[in-house]
Amino acid sequence: MNRLKATPIPAFLLAVSLIVTAFACQQITRQDSQKVLVSSNDGKSRFAGYWYAGEAELNTYKVEQSRYGEMRNGKAVMVFVTEDFSKSRQVKLDDPEKDWEDKVSVMKLNFVKRFVTGIYDYSMMLSVFTPVDLEEQPHSLKATTTSQDWCGQSFVQMNYKGSKYKVQLRSYFGSEGDRDFSTRGDLLEDELWNRIRIDPTSIRAGELDLVPATFFTRLKHERIKPRRARIRLEQSEAMNRLIVEYMHLDRTLIIGYEPQFPYRILSWEEQDDGKLTSRGILLQSVKAPYWTQHDNGDLYLRDSLRLPKTIF
């Protein structure tokens, strides 16, 4: 039976993460499947050894999430894994060797967030597919977001086609309904997580047009379109921070991550309308081929992730 390979989180990193996120609002002032945007052969080998070893990286987080004017406690999971993706159809390739001309290696993030609001609960999931070779293919190819609660569900899919993102929105809200439209092919806030994991230096500091996170646009019922933003990168021995401040939207995102490879996400904080709306603190990180660990006999492995064995 496969066991999870747990990577303990140093206590001082968790402590620094908590402190930084708590006071962030006051302190805001980089065809071959292993070709990656790194500066040396050692970097390529290190990346390949970690990300092409037949395992995913599973990360669990303690979450505080604002909904209906109150903060809620919850959990989140970020699953990072590389896979062979179809450039033309923008889906996972079932037979990569057969379709090698259509193959591109991507970093996939599956980000699941769950929290309770009174008697009912929310389950939200984001999937982002970002080419590992950002120099050759600088745009994430696809992003999908689902949101489910006891009132109904909604779905957003963005596919990069040409120089634009083709957007499909399906919602139970009458004001949104079923819509199909396009938006400019600007950087997605949702892809920043993947870019940190691939190569943090691929994120350019300064002013740019950025498409706000789809978790944010779903909960706020905001139109999906680029907004002007400023990005800053702050470095320290304990934790680096990526800071996103929108210029005409009262929203700030702060992502804390390890200063060294593999650049694990240690924390995040979101502020909307001048108030804290979301905070995540890393609980545990493991490497595992989770797609093979689906039997009842594998339930005990959830203990290593500090997750309950039942959903309800």
What is the per-residue pLDDT across 127-168, written as a single tens digit (0 to 9) for each?
999 999 999 999 999 999 999 999 999 999 999 999 999 999
Per-residue pLDDT reduced to its tens digit, 216-252: 999 999 999 999 999 999 999 999 999 999 999 999 9
Tell me how far apart the alpha carbons of residues 38 and 47 are, in angstroms, rounded to a whole number: 9
User: CB–CB of 121/114 below 8 Å?
Assistant: yes
Tell me, what's the pLDDT at 4? Answer: 57
Kindly indicate the confidence band of residue 275, based on its pLDDT and cuts at 50, 70 and 90. very high
User: CB–CB of 77/59 below 8 Å?
Assistant: yes
Tell me how far apart the alpha carbons of residues 80 and 204 are, in angstroms, rounded to a whole number: 22
In the chain, alpha helices (H): 11-22, 24-27, 41-51, 192-198, 214-220
User: CB–CB of 59/78 below 8 Å?
Assistant: yes
User: CB–CB of 155/146 below 8 Å?
Assistant: yes
B/e letters for 5-20, b = 16+ CB within 10 Å, e = fewer, are ebeebeeebbebbbeb
User: CB–CB of 85/129 below 8 Å?
Assistant: yes
Q: Which is higher by pLDDT, 74 or 7?
A: 74
Tell me, what's the pLDDT at 40? Answer: 52
Q: What is the average pLDDT across 280-309?
A: 97
Q: Which is higher by pLDDT, 41 or 140?
A: 140
Provide the token pair at 115: 């929290």
Q: Which helix (H) or strand (E) holds 6?
A: strand 5-7
Judge whether residue 200 has pLDDT over 70: yes
Tell me, what's the pLDDT at 65? Answer: 98
Judge whether residue 25 has pLDDT over 60: no
| Strand, helix or coil for residue 25 | helix
Q: Are strands 251-257 and 70-86 parallel, antiparallel or unpaired?
A: unpaired
Judge whether residue 24 has pLDDT over 80: no
Tell me, what's the pLDDT at 216? Answer: 97
Q: What is the average pLDDT across 79-94?
A: 96
- Would you give the distance in Å from CA 292 to the centre of its chain? 23
Q: What is the average pLDDT across 117-131?
A: 98
Tell me, what's the pLDDT at 7? Answer: 56
Q: Are strands 103-117 and 70-86 parallel, antiparallel or unpaired?
A: antiparallel
Q: Is the dihedral of CA 289, 292, 298, 302 positive or negative?
A: positive
As a whole number of Å, the CA-based R_g of the chain is 19
Q: Are strands 251-257 and 240-246 parallel, antiparallel or unpaired?
A: antiparallel
Instruction: Give whole-number Cα distances, 308 to 300, 304, 311, in Å.
Output: 10, 10, 7
| Closest C-alpha to 284, from 253, 307, 258 | 307
Q: Which residues pair with 111 in a beta bridge?
A: 78, 126
